[in-house]
């Protein structure tokens, strides 16, 4: 199959058509219009076979996942996802694989009203890079740098499920069948918290999506905001699957470090707390208050069962195992 | 080296700072502002080791090249390049390699006043994907679909030099040393025709950059515009290096099919011909009129030495050698 045929068959004319796309797939560039008084938010994420996903991942899940992790970054800024470019490097043309993969991608794109406006297909070891774009009213973006002493710390959804799914496969944990389905779904089909991000605009002081783990991503907010944090580990939301599979101590690396959950972590000034909690309930967004911002230089104080928890572990670093 | 350290060392705080970048590297997304009454042009290109470049390519040339091929797509639309996202997949951290690679990238970015606003670094087989963004006054973009019967066909610069560089290495052609330097420079450090593209706005009826070869890329214009073309092969500009190395017949696959030159191919209505040629000279853009658009369904008639040339060869297709 030729490149043009591949693009025509799996990308062009499929998925949604947005009015603000003036020229889609098929020319040297796509042309789009950013609404007046809006900024453009841009993010890029790559998934590499054997590094970010198992070789036996369902292609449909992979198509979903690669778009989801990018939309999650837009969500963390409070942006409305609009357009994505897809760079697909494939070892060979497998029609069945491509059909499933693009189906997974188109499904989530349609759900979030996102149009695939272009990309590139190349031959090589399997890897996918997406550049996702979104729009956001001027000056309302949620940055990592806005957390202030006294702000409350929140997370959406339960943490650790994606890690549990990975380790269950790797280590052969004894997980009940209904829980296994749930955690695999959580890992394979992560839900970017797009609605939550938009609800947070004008109310949260800082936000980030949890891709590298709670400790690591909270660390980014603390570093950029020049503050410290106090976290009640008991308050970190976990799923039934997590609680039924692992005891509290075993859960710690999953809920504190594993990442890949793509939930949002955000801080809220005390003055906005009640208003925001009301708004979150109105929009059906589940979020838990897990701690508070303190003065300091990036320290994270963990409390468990009313006692200070001594705990050391780092987040997922792509190159951390590499000698320099 | 950790991912954050790598980004800080080689990307953050290096290169130019544009005023329209509201938030650069370091958060979940970058934030930029598109000027009023402008559209956003977006393009993505991936270079994979062993497919798009030799493993022994100088990292500085690779850094230049990967940005150049993306800026070339923006040039072909007549857009002003503004921001790029860089997704870098590396097998390991080689400090010297990274220093050279990013130097090459920053050099061309600075030359074209482009800011690197974000990206991703991952571990895996060497590959680079860039998503380049540019702005263009509403309604002035050069599309592939605008060529009309009677329009004149132009190309910038000499064609075939990049192909000659590749084949000289592969096949050990006998190329004079001064020519070898020139063609290697043309292949390693292609110049996206950004100024030319902007000069063409409002004057050319269609444009494309020559990445896959003259015949293949002209074919795209013809298909999108539903016309045919008549090309005087004698008029296709070639370099001294080309003419001194190969005879006319040997030159054909290089100037007609090889691609990788990143010159612009464009069509101009007869009414705009004199005005555009004057404008091109004013801006120092060299371009040659090589033929004319005819009615038809995508046929390309080639003339050489006043006679019809029978010639069959296809452009570079990434997957053309793959069984389906």
Q: At what angle do helices A95-111 and A59-77 cross, to 10 degrees?
A: 30
**What is the complex's ipTM, to 2 decimals?**
0.93
pLDDT tens per residue across span B110-166: 999 999 999 999 999 999 999 999 999 999 999 999 999 999 999 999 999 999 998
- For A:16-45, CB contacts with B below 8 A are 22-23, 26-34, 36, 39-45
pLDDT tens per residue across span A29-83: 999 999 999 999 999 999 999 888 877 889 999 999 999 999 999 999 999 999 9
User: Which of the four pLDDT bands, split at 50, 70 and 90, describes residue A279?
Assistant: very high
Query: Is the pLDDT confidence value at B321 over 50?
Result: no
Whether B74 and chain A come into contact, CB under 8 Å, resolves to: yes
Calculated CA dihedral for residues A284, A287, A289, A291, nearest 10 degrees: -160
- Asked if A43's CB is within 8 angstroms of B28's CB, the reply is yes
SS3 B281: helix
Residues of B in contact with A35 (CB under 8 A): none
| pLDDT the model gives residue B324 | 27
pLDDT tens per residue across span A155-196: 999 999 999 998 998 888 889 999 999 999 999 999 999 999
pLDDT tens per residue across span B95-107: 999 999 999 999 9
Measured over the CA atoms of residue B75, residue A117, residue B324 and residue A59, the dihedral's sign is positive
User: Which of the four pLDDT bands, split at 50, 70 and 90, describes residue A320?
Assistant: very low
User: Which of the four pLDDT bands, split at 50, 70 and 90, describes residue B320?
Assistant: very low
Measured over the CA atoms of residue B226, residue A95, residue B54 and residue B112, the dihedral's sign is positive
- For B:293-322, CB contacts with A below 8 A are 317-320, 322
Q: What is d(CA B231, CA B301) in angstroms, rounded to the nearest whole number?
A: 6
| pLDDT the model gives residue A284 | 92
Which of B6, B40, B319 is nearest residue A3 as measured by Cβ atoms?
A: B319
- For A:108-137, CB contacts with B below 8 A are 117-125, 127, 129, 131, 133-134, 136
- For A:137-176, CB contacts with B below 8 A are 138, 141, 143-145
Query: Is the pLDDT confidence value at A108 over 80?
Result: yes
pLDDT tens per residue across span B190-237: 999 999 999 999 999 999 999 999 999 999 999 999 999 999 999 999
Query: Contact at 8 Å (CB) between B114 and B302?
Result: no
Over range A87-112, report the average pLDDT. 95
CB pairs under 8 A between A and B: 233
pLDDT tens per residue across span B44-77: 999 999 888 877 889 999 999 999 999 999 999 9
| pLDDT the model gives residue B21 | 97
Q: Any residues with CB less than 8 A from the CB of B34 and at least 6 apart, and which?
A: A34, A40, B20, B40, B135
| pLDDT the model gives residue A321 | 37
| pLDDT the model gives residue B131 | 98
Which residue is it, tokens 């002209």?
B218
pTM comes to 0.93
Query: Is the pLDDT confidence value at A6 over 90?
Result: no
From residue B171, how far is each of A250, B161, B165, B167, B168 by CA, in Å? 61, 15, 10, 5, 5
Query: Is the pLDDT confidence value at A313 over 80?
Result: no
What's the distance, Cα to Cα, between the start and end of chain B in Å?
A: 41
| pLDDT the model gives residue A169 | 87
pLDDT tens per residue across span A185-242: 999 999 999 999 999 999 999 999 999 999 999 999 999 999 999 999 999 999 999 9
Which of the pair, A60 or A320, is modelled with greater confidence? Answer: A60
pLDDT tens per residue across span B224-248: 999 999 999 999 999 999 999 999 9
pLDDT tens per residue across span B81-97: 999 999 999 999 999 99
Which of A39, A144, A322 is nearest residue B93 as measured by Cβ atoms?
A: A322
| pLDDT the model gives residue B317 | 52
How near does any CA of chain A get to the CA of B169, in Å?
22
- Asked if B48's CB is within 8 angstroms of A122's CB, the reply is yes
Measured over the CA atoms of residue B138, residue B139, residue B140 and residue B141, the dihedral's sign is positive
- Asked if A23's CB is within 8 angstroms of B48's CB, the reply is no
Measured over the CA atoms of residue A292, residue A230, residue A196 and residue A21, the dihedral's sign is positive
- Alpha-helical (H) ranges within B54-94 are 59-77
Question: Which phi-psi region, left, alpha or beta, contains residue A37 (left: φ > 0; alpha: ψ -120 to 50)?
Answer: left
| pLDDT the model gives residue B2 | 78
Over range B288-308, report the average pLDDT. 96
User: Which of the four pLDDT bands, split at 50, 70 and 90, describes residue A146?
Assistant: very high
| pLDDT the model gives residue A318 | 46
Q: What is d(CA B233, CA B152) in angstroms, rounded to the nearest whole number?
A: 14
| pLDDT the model gives residue A265 | 98
Percent of all residues in chain A with a pLDDT value above 70, rounded to a whole number: 96
Positions of E strands within chain A: 21-23, 30-32, 38-48, 80-90, 115-123, 127-137, 152-156, 206-209, 228-232, 264-268, 287-294, 300-304, 307-309
Query: Is the pLDDT confidence value at A12 over 50?
Result: yes
| pLDDT the model gives residue B6 | 85
Over range B258-282, report the average pLDDT. 95
- Asked if B136's CB is within 8 angstroms of A31's CB, the reply is yes
């Amino acid at each position: 199959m030729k490149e043009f045929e591949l693009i025509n068959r799996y990308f062009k004319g499929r998925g949604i058509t947005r009015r603000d796309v003036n020229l889609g797939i098929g020319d040297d560039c796509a042309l789009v219009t950013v609404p007046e008084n809006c900024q453009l938010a841009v993010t890029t994420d790559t998934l590499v076979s054997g590094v970010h996903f198992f070789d036996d991942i369902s292609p449909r899940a992979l198509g979903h996942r690669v778009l989801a992790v990018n939309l999650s970054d837009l969500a963390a800024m409070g942006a409305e996802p609009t357009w994505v470019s897809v760079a697909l490097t494939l070892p060979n043309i497998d029609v069945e694989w491509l059909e499933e993969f693009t189906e997974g991608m188109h499904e989530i794109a349609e759900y979030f009203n996102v149009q695939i406006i272009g990309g590139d297909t190349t031959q090589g070891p399997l890897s996918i890079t997406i550049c996702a774009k979104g729009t956001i009213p001027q000056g309302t973006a949620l940055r990592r740098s806005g957390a202030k002493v006294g702000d409350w710390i929140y997370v959406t959804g339960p943490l650790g499920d994606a890690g549990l799914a990975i380790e269950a496969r790797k280590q052969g944990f004894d997980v009940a069948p209904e829980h296994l389905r749930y955690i695999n779904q959580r890992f394979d089909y992560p839900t970017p918290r797009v609605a939550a991000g938009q609800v947070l605009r004008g109310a949260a002081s800082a936000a980030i999506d949890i891709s590298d783990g709670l400790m690591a991503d909270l660390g980014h907010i603390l570093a950029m905001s020049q503050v410290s944090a106090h976290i009640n580990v008991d308050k970190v939301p976990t799923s039934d699957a997590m609680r039924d599979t692992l005891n509290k101590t075993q859960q710690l690396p999953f809920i504190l470090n594993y990442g890949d959950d793509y939930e949002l972590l955000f801080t809220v000034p005390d003055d906005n707390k009640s208003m925001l909690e009301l708004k979150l309930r109105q929009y059906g967004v589940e979020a838990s208050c897990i701690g508070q911002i303190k003065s300091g230089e990036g320290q994270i104080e963990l409390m468990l069962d009313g006692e200070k928890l001594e705990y050391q572990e780092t987040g997922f670093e792509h190159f951390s195992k590499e000698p320099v």
